[in-house]
Amino acid sequence: MINKTFRFSTESLLPDISLILIEMGYSIPLADHYLSDLINDTLQQVRKHTRVQAGFIMLPKDSIKTQSNILFENRLLFEPGSIIMSQLQNVTSLAVFLATLGSDFDLWIKFVQQIDMLQAFVIDTIGSLMVEKAVDLLEEQISMQAMIRAEKCTNRFSPGYCQWLVDEQHQLFHLLPADFDWVKLQPSCLMTPLKSISGIIGLGKNVIKIPYHCAFCDNKSCYRRLKNRKGQ
């Protein structure tokens, strides 16, 4: 089983100011935005509060079967629902991943919140973008592994999205490597540190990666759908 952990540098995850403003809801033009100075100051401090850890475990070749559910060594592993399953056809292995910014980041937000809610919100937004970026980098690493094995990858999927119940975080956490022990899954399925993302990517020789779009899913209130509608 391939098991890789990365300590991406904070710098490699830092979003630029315009991305942060767009994430907050603003649209172009963004030059000279009144929050730019505050965002800039905050970006300077991020490194002190971040301990990025991102990694994945790749289940053995041919250990996975997919039909209406995901079977691992012929036992039920995940039931992500029909939307995700339609994208996981021909998958024969899975990469199970986790990325986190560490607990200091949460403490930083908590601390600043008592003094300045606006800056706390800026930090919160930066954190969400950074952990998403860490997953982007992980995805690249997983694709590289797939290439070495002459396999292809599906999109990434996370419990809690596209009808996949967040309860299945429990099964996912069972598979994570031991160096993620310090990331805790609460009985409510909330991960601590808060700025964490978990998920899976399917692999296989005959996998077809379909560009993901919201028509696959019927969740009208999902933020990705709302964002796409705004043209962002």
Partner 1 sequence: MERLLFDLSIAIERGKENETSPYPPDLKGKPGAYEFTSRLLEMNCPPDTILKQGMMPGMDRIGKKFADGIVFIPEILIAAKAMKAAMTLLKPYFDNGAVLRKGKVIIGTVAGDLHDIGKNIVCMVLEGAGWEVFDLGVDVTKEKFLASLNEHPESIICMSALLTTTMREMEKSVTTIKQAFPQTKIYLGGAPLTSDFADKIGADGYFPDPHSLSKHLTGNL
Q: Does 55 bind ligand B12 (CB under 6 A)?
A: no
Which of 194, 214 has the CB closer to partner 1? 194
Q: How far is the CB of 198 from ligand B12 (least distance, A)?
A: 4
Using CB distances below 5 to 8 A depending on partner kind, what does residue 147 bind out of ligand B12, partner 1, none?
none
Contact set with partner 1 (CB under 8 A): 24-26, 34-35, 37, 113, 117-118, 120-122, 124, 160, 165-167, 186-190, 192, 194, 221, 223
| Cβ-based burial of 147 (10 A; exposed 0-12, middle 13-18, buried ≥19) | exposed
78-110 in b/e form (b: 16+ CB < 10 A) is bbbbebbbebbeebbbbbbbbbbbbbebbebbe
CB of 147 to partner 1, least distance (A): 35
Determine which residue in the list 128, 141, 155, 171 makes contact with ligand B12, applying CB under 6 A: 128
Q: Please state the closest distance from residue 208 (CB atom) to ligand B12, in A.
A: 24
Query: Can you tell me the distance from the alpha carbon of 57 to that of 182, in angstroms, rounded to the nearest whole number?
Result: 16
Size of the site for ligand B12 (CB under 6 A): 18
Residues 189 and 184: their CA atoms lie apart, in Å, by: 9
Q: How many helices (H) and strands (E) does the chain have?
A: 8, 10
Cβ(159)–Cβ(198) under 8 Å? Answer: yes
Residues that bind ligand B12 (CB under 6 A): 128, 131-132, 158-161, 166, 190-191, 194-199, 222-223
